[in-house]
Copies of this chain bind each other. A is one copy, B any other.
Amino acid sequence: MSYRNRLEKCDKFTFALLIVGSFLSFFPVTISAQTLAENLGYPPGTKLIIVHADDLGETHAVNAAAIKSLESGSVNSASLMVPCPWFPEIADYAKSHPNVDFGLHLTLTSERVYYRWGSVASADKVPSLLDENGYFHHDWEHNQHIDAKEVETELRAQIERALAMGVRPTHLDSHQYRLIMNGKELFDVMLRVAHDYKVPVFVNTDWFADYPYLQKSVGPDDIVLDHTITIGPDVLPEKWADFYISALKNLKPGVTEFVIHPGFDDEELRAATRERPTWGAAWRQRDFDFFNSNQFRQMLVQENIKLITWRELARMAARK
């Protein structure tokens, strides 16, 4: 939903508050779609994207596809799952490539069936996050008790392990949006931890209508992107490129994060994801293929779309 559409949904009182808020806020990046881009030195109306690969560390097939995409320039940012068994591989890469834009993909679930992982924090410190076999839950059932203090313990443990292993994260985001979509308490935990470590959190105004506590919690110093685009299970495999081309053609001004999931459709990834096709091996190969295609590169030129990273955004925020 666009910024304009969201405003149209607001009643007049809320709109008035937003306007007042924009004057009261010293640097109202949370309010104006143009402001974030303008503060990076771009003229109003500029379209900027972060092409962001998720789930690094989860499998080797995802690490390998992400590294190839980063090195070809088709992806310019990514985030790492610290609890996963292939984290050491991508941490080693991050350590030896300190200029690559790597964040941490804070992880509280182990959603697959045949291939699983648990917490970084000592298991007895985070019992509400673990299932009866000691792995992160596959899913969070409705009304499942997830203890916010335990979430904070686990997030800090993930960040500390990443730092200890040489990763210097440029941002934090949340695997399966668990920390975004499960209420103010968990989002505030992520935000507090991010503030402590002085790294931005991935949040954008597209989410504010459905999760209004996000807007309430972010402050004037938080970086808030304008939009996000991610492909969903409703897109047929043969329409994959069409979806992204349409999204790029209709891109709105401001900063948009494309959340993508490149991976190689090989034995490992097929086995790890075989219980369902969503975000599976073929899905991830399609993402890899589109973003490594000439079609994608040509679209960037044709639509005059610029690339930007979390590192650049954070640098801008630091200059404020």
> A residues near B, CB below 8 A?
59-61, 63-64, 84-89, 92, 113-117, 120-125, 132-135, 161, 164-165, 264, 266-268, 271-272
User: Min CB distance, A93 to chain B, in Å?
Assistant: 9
B115 touches A267 (CB 8 A): no
Chain B residue with Cβ nearest A269: B268
The interface residues of chain B lying within 8 Å CB-to-CB of A266 are 266-268
The interface residues of chain B lying within 8 Å CB-to-CB of A86 are 114-115
Partner of A114, one of B88, B123, B125, B272: B88
The interface residues of chain B lying within 8 Å CB-to-CB of A271 are 60, 63-64, 89
Q: A60-B272, A134-B161 are in contact. Are A85 and B115 (CB under 8 A)?
A: yes
The interface residues of chain B lying within 8 Å CB-to-CB of A61 are 267-268
Given contacts A84-B85, A89-B114, 20 further A-B contacts (CB under 8 A): A60-B268, A60-B271, A60-B272, A61-B267, A61-B268, A63-B271, A85-B85, A85-B116, A86-B114, A86-B115, A88-B135, A89-B115, A121-B123, A122-B123, A122-B125, A124-B124, A133-B164, A134-B161, A266-B266, A267-B268
